[in-house]
Structure 1
Amino acid sequence: MALDDAYGIREVEFAIHAAQTERLFVRGKNTETDRYFDNQAKENHIYCVNNALNQLLGDAAVLIELGGFKQAAEHFMRFGVLRRLRMMIAAFRNFQSIIMPDRTVTLTMEQSDEVCRDLNAIYVNILGLLDNYAGAIVHQVGGAKTQAAKPLAMSLFKPAFAVDPALADVAAALAPFATWETDVKKRRNPAAHRMPLYVPPAGYDPKAADALRRLDQLISTALREQDFVEMRNLQRERERIGVFISIFVHAPDEEMNDIYPTIPQDLGQMVKIGRISQDFLRAHLAPLESSDGA
């Protein structure tokens, strides 16, 4: 049975929801109607990814409690997979409580700090989770040479993993995700090693930019004069200028990414890889000895 059919997780693909909305209306006649149905597709996608993440976490917890893991493999599952999944689920839940697809109101500085924290937690942990699965698979099923490889070589998409005959089946099942893994590194690697991901609180037209500069000068003056009440009032006024633009970036001169559907789409691909990995591990659990020694 195909992975999508087995777990009902075709819905982690945004294209499924986009196609459903396309059947409901004729695009192009009204901008507001287009935006409404686009946002509906994005919201449905988010909810399905939430469900898929929770199901993956629950299945991982049950898998560990079945027993039959070798010590090193269980270590990667219990202290790697479970912890990272919980962190990502919590981060994505909080992120969407602040930013949903229909948001146009600018972010406060506190909200901007929260969503930036959550966004980086998601992306830093995505590839970490895949490495935890690789560690569990290698130490449960892999050959001695693969198990002895350097930790950085122990990756689902590295040659050392793919050439192990004991891992040939799972490597073949994961091969279609190699392009996505390369792509997601563009968002993850700078966040881990260079510039953290950032959600701009607002976008500004020329008139708003002029008002922003004026307020920044007044805020600086209030700070120098230690008039903190006035400074906070000016900061609140500043937060009302502009309009929220649903993007995230590493730096202003680098590629911009749409928040939706990019984030849930990346999480959805991660879930699919997790399902393949956990199925493979379940099929290779060591048989438990019966209590009577039989």
Structure 2
Amino acid sequence: MTFELEQVEYDAHYQQFAVPFLIEGNAENNCYFVNQAKENHVYAVNDALQGLLHDALSLLGHVEFTKDADHFFRYGVMRRLRMVMSAFRSFQSVIMPDRTVPLTQDQSDNVCRDLNAIYINILGVLDNYAWVTVHQAGCDSTKCAKPLSIGLFKPAIADDPGLKPIIDTLASFSAWEQDVKTRRNPAAHRMPLYVPPAAFTPEDIGEFERYELLMSDAVRKGEFDKLSDLRESSRRIGRLVPLFLHDPGEKVMEIYPTLPQDIGQMVKIGRLVQDFLRNHGPAIDAV
């Protein structure tokens, strides 16, 4: 595994940027260094995702794909990779690990949109890679299999002798693939993923109600010049807790490191599949 791919694992950053500086009983100190580890993990995943896309472009210039493999690679894999990269950049421009300021309504809408786009396309990328490998290196019976039976972790591919090498290589990701489905499948079929804009203590709620009264009083007195500052102050009540979920009655997940870790696993799988594809087709310059 290259250094770049090692860096998509959160534990590597936790061990380097947090563990040496943690102090028992000092929560504020520990939170700072854990956030440093999480931020460096985000930057590493950004770089790895960009590297995967560059490698995909290079692959198109070096491997003679079959017509169908080329179709799924260009219009499936590469489109989805760009969508994941764009959504992840947009998400982190609003929420990084150290943010505590509550989200505005627009920010909440935007991060929820980005989060759902990322998780839907993570598995979409893997499905597109499956179709590319089938049409590039699979046997005729696999190419004719029912569409829903095609996937990197499904028996139809595992039983194909031409695809066995890549399927064996990807076996260690099977547990992660099942886990990420718990985040993706409800978003696609039932409840979209959601980031709560803020968490409130009873004191915060009292303070919010106080500002509501102040704004009502300003309107009643015609002191409209005060409204903007009052609204801005009320929006800063509470604290962002970086969590996401599908349904209030279900499991709550930490945004960091979960989100970049999931993208990182997709990147690792993508690299392995692209390396496989390099060896399963004539080189363009040799054709």
**TM alignment of 1:167-246, pairs within 5 A:** 167-212=163-208, 236-246=232-242
1:53 aligned onto 2:49? yes
Give me the whole-angstrom Cα distance separating, in 2, the residues matched to 1:147 and 1:216.
63
Cα offset, 1:26, TM superposition? 3.9
Structure 1 match to 2:59: 63
Structure 2 match to 1:223: none
Please state whether the residue corresponding to 1:43 is helix, strand or coil: helix
**TM alignment of 1:5-44, pairs within 5 A:** 5=2, 8-44=4-40
Structure 2 match to 1:134: 130
Structure 1 match to 2:254: 258
Amino acid paired to 1:38:
V
Structure 1 match to 2:161: 165
Structure 1 match to 2:99: 103
Q: Deviations over 1:200-241 (max 9, x none)?
A: 110011222345567789999xxxxxxx99998775454222
Give me the whole-angstrom Cα distance separating, in 2, the residues matched to 1:106 and 1:17.
27
Structure 2 match to 1:121: 117
CA contact (8 A) 2:35 2:98 kept: yes
Aligned residues: 283
Identity among equivalent positions (%) equals: 54
Please state whether the residue corresponding to 1:274 is helix, strand or coil: helix
Please state whether the residue corresponding to 1:248 is helix, strand or coil: strand
Amino acid paired to 1:90:
S
1:271 aligned onto 2:273? no
Structure 2 residues without counterparts, runs of 5 or longer = 217-223
1:72 aligned onto 2:68? yes
Amino acid paired to 2:262:
D
Change over 3 Å in CA distance of 1:178–1:17 after alignment to 2: same
Please state whether the residue corresponding to 2:180 is helix, strand or coil: helix
Change over 3 Å in CA distance of 1:138–1:219 after alignment to 2: farther
Give me the whole-angstrom Cα distance separating, in 1, the residues matched to 2:123 and 2:227.
42
TM-score of the aligned structures, taking structure 1 as reference length: 0.88
